[in-house]
Amino acid sequence: MAEKPHERILILRTMAHTRVWEKGMSRCYFEPSQLSGMILSWEPNIMNMKVDQCSLALGVYTAKYFQPSRYGRLGFSGQASETSISLLKLESINGTSSPCYMNGSKLCFSYSFNQKLWDDNNSSRMLSIDNTLIGLKITELKQRLGYAPITNYRWPLAFSLDAASVSDILGKIDVSL
């Protein structure tokens, strides 16, 4: 019997898309400039990901989400729910086993909202976990490749991690998946 591929968790991050990880939302997208030279640098096979290998995602609002953009736009709408990581269930697209698809030149992911990981209005916890997840990915890349590929922006807005490692990180703050 073939061994089941190691379970991964997709980390989806945003710095601008208002309330994208909230209840009622069902997809996110990444622009071509975020895909090429960023996401694909760390996750070259992301478009081949299957839901039986990666069925969950964490939706994270990055530090830039809480700051005005260079155009003065603020992603953060002021809701307490935006200060917590969302647990999302990746959904297959059109009868395939893939949670992602291309819409023109944009990479889209389909998901359903599952739950917030906490509800105490603590954005510092989310930002700290975001940094820890990035560090974990850099360590994984260095172990696998000998280096962490250079990206156009620090840091890619989508990547995957070993599910057990993510559970361990969250368990240290008494959060379980």
Mean pLDDT of 124-132: 96
Is 90 exceeded by the pLDDT of residue 94? no
**Whole-number Å distance between alpha carbons of 46 and 51:** 12
Is 60 exceeded by the pLDDT of residue 166? yes
51's tokens: 């839901």
Q: pLDDT tens-digit profile of 139-149? A: 999 999 999 99
Is 70 exceeded by the pLDDT of residue 153? yes
Q: pLDDT tens-digit profile of 2-42? A: 444 569 999 999 999 999 999 999 999 999 999 988 999 99
CB 83 within 8 A of CB 21: no
pLDDT at 1: 37
Q: Are strands 86-90 and 56-61 parallel, antiparallel or unpaired?
A: antiparallel
In this prediction the pTM is 0.94
